[in-house]
């Protein structure tokens, strides 16, 4: 099965994230674009226009996949970032670099035009640099086939997707002439030379030298010695041939794919592959479990970190190597644990306030709760459970009363002693059940928060505490509501806290991994959430 390993994020676009990736089993690194499906028409457009293009100044398309929420494109990796960032960083580029960039841009655009494509909306952010500094056109989402109306193409994609299309040709054509105009200005030092002007099309064609050196080579020292070579000798199947669409003349530059059509009826096979392997249900895109090393370390320069027990052996050569290996395997952030619940860096939540006057139980403070007699504590718990379980009454007043109680629980759940007592009490399964039974989502959101706070502040979990059931409930709810980003943002933190609680409690035991079962589905759904992301968290104003 083909798998891709995802490494770090290298860029973000509108509703898309770009990762560095690698096909498992190969050493070819690629860029993997994970795009929201709402961009399907633009992505499909990009694919239909680029899947046949192989040119050094165009980012190569390899393949594409589809998962439930995203489209995934595997394309050429350009490690140099965008031309926009180079311009921003350097502010002023040297004339030699400008000349070299211009050659790449003209070569690429010329190839694109000859392929019958109008790039459209050309900006430096859409031009990428590979390692040696070659410029490449990267984003054809808003490009179009010459003469076509892009809106109509988008409409056809939508119709295809919804099954409403008739597959007919896009008939409305506008003749767009988006052509390269390069003058014979001395600045170009003969790199470009005008060879042809078509009277019929009133466009100017350029040829240029292809033998100018790559970045770092002074163009001016070479350009005077080079003879301009025609760009059309470079593309696959390229060359000057008879003209499509009526124009004549043996030297007329024409579409290099004269028989090629970008119409939708040619696209029935142009569909993303499903990214779930049918037999193994395994995902094609896997997150790299090893963080990308941030810097290399030498044996003479061991990393600055807290020593581990096994490090106390003599500082032998082997030990130096083990330092290096550990530094490559772990990063500081692997060992740092950040609370998830109510962490303002993750999600800003308004402080919860309850109204003690209308509270359906006595509004004990945490201090008072810690010294309640066991009888009073039992009575208090009983009241909490029966108030939450009262199902019959779904009036506004009853819902408000439940919300008030849950706000009170949020307050007392943020203290370790109360959290520990409450999570190990009969209240915990009642709260878990409320994730399904509560009268509305407002109440459910609050129940999630109480559960998350209990998990994050609890310091001792009893063996019989039904955390597995809670993990299963959260897992099911995330699965059922996978497309609902807001809901997922409320479900994930308590699930994370529960898993962390289980992990830390297991760690304290003699035989870790035996007490509280975490179903494989919980890991699967969590990994899927991490992989596929979602909308950024919004400020919660409750």
Site string for ligand 3RJ, 77-116 (x = CB under 6 A): xxx-xx----------------------------------
Rounded distance between C-alpha atoms, residue 129 and residue 140, angstroms: 16
The pairs formed by 372-379 with CB atoms below 8 angstroms and a separation of 24 or more are 377/421
Which residue out of 121, 265, 277, 542 is catalytically annotated?
A: 121
- Residues 523, 502: contact at Cβ < 8 Å? no
The site string for ligand 3RJ over 227-256 (x = CB under 6 A, - otherwise) reads: ------------------------------
Instruction: Please enumerate in sequence order all residues whose Cβ is within 8 A of that of 335, keeping only pairs 6 or more positions apart, or say none.
Output: none
How far lies 383's CA from each of 185, 261, 360, 379, in Å? Answer: 87, 72, 8, 6
Q: Give the residue nearest to ligand 3RJ (CB).
A: 11
Give 136 or 421: the residue with its C-beta nearer to ligand 3RJ. Answer: 136
Handedness of CA 448, 454, 456, 461 (dihedral sign): negative
Q: Does 18 bind ligand 3RJ (CB under 6 A)?
A: yes
Longest C-alpha distance within the chain, in Å? Answer: 102
User: Tokens 């394309």 label which residue?
Assistant: 75
Given candidates 44, 138, 411, 418, which one binds ligand 3RJ under the rule CB under 6 A? 138
Please count the other Cβ atoms lying within 10 Å of the Cβ belonging to residue 265: 13
Q: Where are the alpha helices (H) located in 362-512, listed in sequence order?
A: 366-370, 374-389, 396-413, 416-423, 427-437, 441-457, 467-480, 485-508
Distance, CA of 83 to CA of 234 (rounded, Å): 23
* Closer Cβ to ligand 3RJ, 131 or 237, answer by number: 131
Q: Which structure tokens are listed for 386? A: 């029966």
Residue with tokens 């990762």: 19
Residue of the chain from 2, 3, 7, 10 that contacts ligand 3RJ (CB under 6 A): 10
Instruction: Compute the least distance from the CB of residue 415 to ligand 3RJ, in Å.
Output: 45
Name the residue nearer to ligand 3RJ (CB basis): 33 or 191: 33
Whether 320 is catalytic: no
- 108: Cα separation from own chain's centroid: 28
Q: Considering only the stretches 6-14, 191-199, 393-401, 429-437, report the one whose residues sit in contact with ligand 3RJ under the rule CB under 6 A.
A: 6-14
Q: Is 13 in the site for ligand 3RJ (CB under 6 A)?
A: yes
With binding defined as CB under 6 A, does residue 467 bind ligand 3RJ? no
Restricted to residues 185-204, the positions that interact with ligand 3RJ (CB under 6 A) are none
CB of 139 to ligand 3RJ, least distance (A): 4
Q: How far is the CB of 34 from ligand 3RJ (least distance, A)?
A: 10
Nearer to ligand 3RJ, 31 or 454 (CB): 31
In the complex, least distance from residue 20 CB atom to ligand 3RJ, rounded to whole angstroms: 8
Segment 48 to 77, residues that bind ligand 3RJ, using CB under 6 A: 59, 75-77
Its sign, for the CA torsion 271, 277, 278, 281, is: negative
* Stretch of 10-18, 177-185, 216-224, 481-489 lying at the interface with ligand 3RJ (CB under 6 A): 10-18
- 142 vs 503, beta carbon nearer ligand 3RJ: 142
CA distance 178 to 168: 26
Query: x/- string (CB under 6 A) for ligand 3RJ, residues 508-537?
Result: ------------------------------
Q: Could you tell me if 369 and 376 are in contact, meaning their C-beta atoms sit under 8 angstroms apart? A: no
* CB of 31 vs ligand 3RJ, minimal distance in Å: 3
Q: Is the CB of 127 or the CB of 501 nearer to ligand 3RJ?
A: 127
- Residue 46 in tokens: 């990009």
The H or E element that residue 100 is part of is: helix 95-114
- Pick one of 2, 3, 7, 11: the residue that binds ligand 3RJ (CB under 6 A): 11
Beta strands in 276-371 (DSSP E): 285-287
Q: With CB under 6 A as the rule, give the number of residues binding ligand 3RJ.
A: 17
Active-site residue list: 121
Residues making contact with ligand 3RJ (CB under 6 A): 10-11, 13, 18, 31, 33, 59, 75-79, 81-82, 128, 138-139
């Amino acid at each position: 099965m083909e798998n891709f390993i995802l490494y770090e994020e290298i860029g973000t676009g509108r509703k898309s994230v770009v990762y560095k990736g690698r096909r498992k089993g190969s050493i070819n690194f690629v860029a993997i674009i994970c795009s929201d499906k709402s961009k399907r028409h633009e992505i499909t457009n990009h694919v239909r226009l680029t899947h046949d293009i192989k040119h050094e100044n165009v980012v190569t398309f390899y393949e594409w996949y589809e998962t439930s929420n995203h489209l995934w494109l595997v394309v050429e990796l350009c490690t140099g970032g965008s031309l926009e960032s180079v311009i921003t960083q350097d502010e002023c580029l040297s004339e030699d670099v400008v000349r070299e960039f211009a050659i790449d841009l003209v070569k690429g655009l010329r190839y694109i035009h000859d392929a019958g494509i109008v790039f459209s909306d050309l900006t430096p952010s859409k031009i990428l640099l590979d390692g040696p500094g070659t410029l490449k056109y990267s984003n054809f989402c808003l490009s179009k086939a010459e003469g076509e109306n892009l809106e109509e193409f988008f409409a056809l994609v939508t119709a295809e997707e919804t099954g409403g299309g008739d597959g007919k040709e896009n008939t409305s054509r506008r003749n767009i002439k988006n052509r390269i105009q390069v003058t014979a200005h001395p600045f170009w030092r003969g790199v470009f030379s005008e060879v042809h002007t078509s009277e019929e099309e009133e466009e100017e064609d350029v040829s240029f030298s292809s033998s100018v050196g790559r970045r770092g080579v002074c163009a001016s020292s070479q350009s005077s010695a080079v003879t301009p070579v025609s760009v059309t000798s470079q593309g696959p199947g390229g060359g000057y041939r008879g003209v499509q669409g009526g124009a004549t003349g043996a030297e007329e530059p024409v579409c290099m794919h004269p028989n090629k059509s970008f119409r939708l009826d040619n696209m029935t096979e142009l569909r993303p592959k499903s990214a779930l392997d049918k037999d193994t249900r395994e995902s094609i895109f896997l997150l790299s479990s090893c963080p990308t090393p941030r810097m290399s370390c030498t044996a003479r320069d061991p990393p600055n970190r807290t020593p581990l027990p096994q490090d106390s052996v003599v500082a032998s050569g082997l030990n130096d190597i083990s330092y290096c290996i550990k530094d490559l395997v772990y990063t500081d952030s692997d060992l740092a644990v950040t609370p998830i619940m109510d962490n303002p860096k993750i999600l800003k939540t308004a402080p919860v306030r309850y109204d003690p006057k209308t509270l359906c139980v006595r509004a004990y403070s945490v201090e008072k709760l810690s010294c309640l007699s066991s009888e009073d504590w039992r009575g208090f718990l009983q009241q909490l459970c029966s108030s939450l379980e009262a199902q019959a009454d779904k009036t506004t007043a009853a819902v408000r009363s439940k919300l008030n109680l849950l706000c009170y629980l949020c307050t007392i759940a943020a203290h370790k002693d109360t959290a520990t007592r409450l999570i190990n009490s009969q209240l915990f399964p009642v709260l878990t059940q409320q994730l399904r039974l509560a009268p509305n989502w407002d109440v459910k959101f609050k129940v999630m928060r109480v559960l998350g706070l209990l998990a994050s502040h609890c310091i001792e979990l009893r063996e019989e505490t039904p955390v597995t059931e809670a993990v299963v409930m959260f897992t099911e709810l995330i699965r059922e509501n996978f497309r609902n980003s807001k809901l997922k943002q409320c479900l994930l933190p308590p699930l994370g806290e529960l898993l962390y609680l289980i992990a830390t409690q297991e760690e304290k035991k003699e035989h870790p991994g035996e007490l509280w079962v975490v179903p494989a589905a919980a890991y699967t759904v969590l990994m899927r959430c991490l992989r596929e992301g979602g909308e950024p968290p919004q400020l919660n104003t409750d």
